[in-house]
């Protein structure tokens, strides 16, 4: 399963709170998975320079049509601003019709606990 490594766009301050966002996307078809996979690099570049982003990673199971994201943010507002901005906002809107199931989880953690552990994140989806 391809996994993009935890990338740190902005070094978080010590002993601060971060908003963690995890998502699970399952596409309806393999064609939808391919579309998702092909659009990932553009959004990934955006994350790498997003204001308020403390870290991000992605797991892909394209043949299972499933993708997972995990990111940490300075605040819920920073996360919302990223989600609404280009290219993420239009890309997400363009893929909506390809999605079978989309699930999100958010929680707070200390910046001293970053990077977030995939095992902890995946447990939150069970």
**Lateral strand order in the sheet of 66-73:** 3-7, 53-61, 66-73, 17-27, 99-110
C-alpha–C-alpha distance, residues 103 and 46, integer Å: 22
Residue ranges of domains in the chain, CATH in brackets: 3-8+21-123 (3.30.70.100)
| The pLDDT of residue 92 | 94
pTM above threshold 0.85: yes
Contact 121, 22 (CB under 8 A): yes
* Mean pLDDT in order along the chain per 10 residues (126 residues): 90 97 97 93 94 97 95 98 96 95 98 96 95
């Amino acid at each position: 399963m391809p996994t993009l490594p935890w990338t740190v766009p902005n070094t978080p301050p010590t002993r601060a709170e971060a908003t963690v966002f995890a998502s699970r996307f399952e596409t309806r078809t393999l064609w939808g998975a391919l579309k998702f996979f092909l659009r990932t690099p553009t959004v990934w570049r955006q994350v790498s320079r997003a204001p308020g982003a403390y870290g991000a990673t992605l797991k892909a199971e394209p043949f299972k049509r499933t993708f997972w994201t995990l990111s940490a943010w300075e605040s819920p507002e920073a996360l919302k601003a990223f989600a609404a901005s280009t290219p993420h906002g239009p890309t997400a809107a363009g893929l909506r019709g390809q999605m079978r199931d989309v699930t999100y989880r958010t929680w707070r953690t200390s910046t001293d606990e970053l990077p977030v552990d995939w095992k902890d994140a995946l447990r939150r989806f069970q």
